[in-house]
Structure 1
Amino acid sequence: MSKIFLTDTTLRDGSHTVSHQFTLEDAAQIAGGLEAAGIDIIEIGHGDGLIGSTINYGFGRHDDFSLISAAASQLTKSKLAVLLLPGIGTVEALKMAQKAGAKAVRIATHVTEADMGEEHVKAAKDMGLFVVGFLMMAHMTDAERLTEEALKFESYGADVVYATDSGGAMLPEDVFEKISSLKKNLKIPVGHHAHNNLGLAVSNSLTAIEAGATYIDGCLSGLGAGAGNTPTESLIAVLNKMGYEHNGDLYKAIDASEKILIPSLNNKGLKVNSQLDAMILGYAGVYSSFLLHARRAGQRFGVDVRDILMEAGRRKAVGGQEDWLIEIAVELANQKSK
């Protein structure tokens, strides 16, 4: 299996969810949490791309360059990326973004208009940036035309080309057909960005991987425009279960959501209750009623509920063995104290 490279867009696509009101502290803390979680590329900026803060698209709390600088201050491994929509973003703004700390750019055009990004791709390559051709609304054309447009991005010098399901309208068979065509005809890697408007974001991301995509997007807690994006945490969990190689760390991705993102959202009046420990039930393969008992045991003995559930899964605990969770918690607490 090919290695999968993860891009998290919480600080850009997720910006739509907070009306572009992420603070500089949010940018720094979330970026730091994502790097700790092994995310390869972290996208940041106004939801509508570089210098998208306008009366038409909504004003951001901070300009893109301040956000980039705040995030970049926390990164040593992950690439920091911006999104640029030709007609909104400019080459001059891209130079400013690079100066602030951006290492990559995703040039986003409508799926049939890759030529709109030629100038920007070439300029970005001249600047030494990692460049992604981002073909939006990929459901609006067929695989043949999508491939023609992707080949344009490749010819301009892009390092990766994405089939982007901006409307969350694609079915798994659509994703497979289009990604397969790109994989067959392009020499550069292929990526996919899913939205969850039909509840298919994780499924479509996996289908894209099966068809040959090696760059996949997500957002912490599935944040993002519309119904949101592929949840980064769920994606990592499923990739682990399927045996794919990647750099993501499941626990640290969950921590980035629960300890950094969700408190920030709650402070902004967006009340979010984390259910990420419930996701561990499926990851560990244990009975769903175990969650409440594991939480209580974790609180009582000062151990991570996730570790309790994972150990219960390793021991193949079944319904009716809830008391076993206390024994597991005690053992973990003893190990922790040594």
Structure 2
Amino acid sequence: MTNKPLLLDCTLRDGGYYTNWDFDENLVEDYCRTMENLPIEYVEVGYRSIPLKGYLGEYFYCPEYVLKRLKKLMPSKKLVIILNEKDIRATHVGELLGPCKDYIKLVRLAIDPSNFERAIVLAKAIKKMGFEVGFNVMYMSNWKENSTFLDLLEGLEDTIDYFYMVDSFGGIFPKDVIEIINLVKSKTKCALGFHGHNNLEMAMANTLTAIDHGCSIVDATITGMGRGAGNLRTELFLTYLDSQRITKIQYNNLSVVVSKFEKLKAQFLWGTSLPYMFSGANSLPQKQVMEWVGMNRYPISSIVNALNNQKDSLKDNFRLPVLQKEKKYNKAIILGGGKTVRNNSTAIKKLVKQNNDLCLVHAGARNVGEYLDVSCEQFYALVGFESEKLLEKVKDFGNLSQTCVYPPYPRAMGTIVPNEIINLSKELSAVDFTKISSDSPLALAIQIALDKGVKEIFFAGFDGYEASINHNQYLVSQENQKIFDDVLSYKNIVVTCITPTKYEHMNVISVFSLIK
């Protein structure tokens, strides 16, 4: 490479998949000042969108005041927003993009190839408003098998300023880049771009190959922050350009902002790993892998097993006996992983002892060791790592009255049941009181209680999380809150928390008020 390509940094847009498009204002200001002083032509600052269900943050909607602030911080840069084509139609363009005219130079469209014809209609409406238009066409690794959509490129040179090839799965290699670029060049004279994901750590090699074979613009993000395994690192690409004397880099500001994003990376843990490598190599969707990795609920072996099943189009092929539904108990105590389960174990055990119509359900295995001496029937709700944790806590299963309960068949992860508990293991027929999750330990525990006919559930050890939680804890707390809300509204069930909790809407009473 002898000439520098145009560089587009899309940290705030692609990185938003980890922060829900909310960023600390001081971090954004530091980022913008750094962009302003680097040889970067375009800065993509986020999405613009019609209102969608659920919470999506500031840089997903990019209201006008945000764009105005960003343009003031980066006056020399061409600012970019992206539209998710699946949500946006030509009729939305005036309302969405009218406020952007003074701030935005380029509007990109994230496009599924199957919607390419529809995207052209949207692009023409955007072009009429005077914006540059970029097509970010996804799933590049599948194009060689189905490239008919590229025939629609003919005659669009006046509409599309940049045609981006997006390696959505992070699974291509340089030879694939060359083949696909040649294929696209046979269909259009539009300027070409490349957006590489880093599942197989090929983003840099693929980007350099793309440039050498005709791409005039490429994407990168600070520290590679982006969906799933992330992207080409801006600082790596700039360092390469500097080493080749293609451009000169001022490292002081860059090093400061990289350091701050590295701290964010320690919290959200983007970057490649074995599950991302496997999904990239086999062109499997990133969204589900990101959810599995982000929840920190499953061992890597389970995630890779699940991905392997997807690759081979296999369902979980291991069935367990189904837990019988019966009106056996009136009450259940569901134990979480909080320290209040241990701190109040004496009182909780007395409550169990004075109720003959009560069972004990463990939402996970963290505190089972405290209750091995309890003689009532116990159920262990097991997901992900929990089977291994149970084996660490319980050395002898011979003298206990317990049942190990797994999610309903088929399980997304497949099933691995240790030999020590195979004869004690059952599966739920369904999780039907909530649609939030069928493999949350809390959801499983509640469904076990319901399947045993209980009318009153006591929760203990669901302490909630402190304000300074990490991303994984945040995801779990949000999931738990939604599950609690669903059981609170479930028919004819009395729900009480008997230890302190930070979860909302719960009726809380003291366990000590219930024992004689």
Is TM (by shorter chain) over 0.5? yes
Aligned partner of 1:280 in structure 2 is none
CA distance in 1, matches of 2:142, 2:86: 20
Offset at residue 99 of structure 1 (A): 4.1
Partner of 1:316: none
Q: What are the within-5 Å matches in structure 2 for residues 102-121 of structure 1?
A: 102-121=104-123
Q: Is the CA contact 1:111–1:135 (under 8 Å) kept in the aligned structure 2?
A: yes
1:125-136 superposed matches below 5 A: 125-136=127-138
Letter in 2 for 1:81: V
Given the alignment, which residue of 197, 218, 221 partners 1:219? 221
Alignment of 1:181-330 (within 5 A): 181-242=183-244, 245=246, 249=249, 251=251, 254-255=254-255, 257-258=257-258, 261-262=261-262, 265=264, 269-270=267-268
Contact 1:189-1:214 at 8 Å conserved across structures: yes
What is the distance in 2 between the residues matched to 1:261 and 1:216?
21
Partner of 2:153: 151
Counterpart position of 1:69 = 68
- Distance in 1 (CA, whole Å) between partners of 2:152 and 2:223 is 30
User: How much does 1:120 deviate?
Assistant: 2.3
Contact 1:143 1:181 in 2 (8 A): no
* Separation in 1, partners of 2:269, 2:183: 42
2:181 partner letter: I
What is the one-letter code of the residue matched to 1:36? N
Q: What amino acid does structure 1 have at the position aligned with 2:52?
A: T
CA distance in 2, matches of 1:181, 1:252: 41
Contact kept? 1:82, 1:106, Cα under 8 Å: yes
For the residue of structure 2 that corresponds to 1:17, the secondary structure is: helix
Deviation at 1:230, TM superposition (A): 0.2
1:60 corresponds to which of 41, 57, 65? 57
Q: Tell me the CA shift for residue 107 of structure 1.
A: 1.5
Contact 1:147–1:181 (8 Å) recurs in 2: no
State whether residues 171 and 204 of structure 1, in contact with CA within 8 Å, keep that contact through their aligned partners in structure 2: yes
Aligned ranges 1:29-44 → 2 under 5 Å: 29-44=30-45
The alignment partner of 1:217 has SS state of: strand
Measure the CA separation in 1 of the matches of 2:62 and 2:176: 34
User: For the Cα contact (< 8 Å) 2:22–2:57, is it kept in 1?
Assistant: yes
Q: Give the gaps of 5 or more residues in structure 2.
A: 271-516
Name the structure with the higher helix share.
1
Q: Secondary structure at the match of 1:11?
A: helix
- Aligned counterparts of 1:118 and 1:20: Cα–Cα separation in 2: 27
How far apart are the structure 1 equivalents of 2:51 and 2:197? Answer: 22
The answer to whether the Cα contact below 8 Å between 1:154 and 1:161 also exists between their aligned partners in 2 is: no
| Paired position in structure 1 for 2:49 | 51
Amino acid at match of 1:55: K
Aligned to 2:78: 79
Displaced runs of 4 or more, over 6 A: none
Instruction: Give me the whole-angstrom Cα distance separating, in 2, the residues matched to 1:208 and 1:146.
Output: 22
Contact 2:117–2:152 under 8 Å retained in 1? no
Match of 2:397 in 1: none
- Displacement after TM superposition at 1:54 (Å): 3.4
TM-score (normalizing by structure 2):
0.46
Percent identity between matched residues is: 26
How big is the shift at 1:139? 1.3
8 Å Cα contact 2:16-2:226 kept in structure 1: yes
The residue identity in structure 2 corresponding to 1:249 is: I
Larger relative contact order, structure 1 or 2 (CA cutoff 8 Å, min sep 6) = 1
- Number of residue pairs matched by the alignment: 264
Counterparts in 2 of 1:167 and 1:131: CA distance versus 1, 3 Å = same
Residues 12, 21 of structure 2: 8 Å contact kept: no
Q: CA deviation at 1:14?
A: 1.0
Residue of structure 1 equivalent to 2:173: 171
SS of alignment partner, residue 115 of structure 1: helix
Give distance in 2, aligned partners of 1:256 and 1:154. Answer: 42
Q: Within 1, Cα distance between the matches of 2:154 and 2:36?
A: 32
Q: Is the CA contact (8 Å cut-off) linking 1:143 and 1:177 kept in structure 2?
A: no
1:329 match: none
Deviation of residue 33 (structure 1)? 1.4
CA drift of 1:200 comes to 0.8
Structure 2 counterpart SS, 1:103: strand
Q: Give yes or no for contact 1:220–1:253 (8 Å, CA) kept in 2.
A: no
1:55 positional shift: 3.3
Instruction: Find the aligned partners of 2:70 and 2:173 in 1 and give their Cα distance.
Output: 35
Structure whose CA Rg is larger = 2
Q: Secondary structure at the match of 2:205?
A: helix
Q: Distance in 1 between matches of 2:224 and 2:155?
A: 28
SS at the partner of 2:81? strand
How big is the shift at 1:59?
Answer: 1.6
- Contact 1:237/1:250, CA 8 A, preserved across alignment: no
CA contact (8 A) 1:161 1:189 kept: yes
Q: What per-residue deviation string (whole Å, max 9, x for no partner) do you get for residues 66-94 of structure 1?
A: 43232112122211001112232331354
| 1:115-173 superposed Cα distances (whole Å, 9 cap, x missing partner) | 12123211222221111111111112218827725725835611110111122121221
- Consecutive unaligned residues of structure 1, counting only runs of 5 or more, are 273-338
Partner amino acid, structure 1, of 2:143: T
Give 1:95's aligned residue: 97
The verdict on how the C-alpha distance between 1:212 and 1:59 changes in structure 2, with shifts beyond 3 A counting, is: same
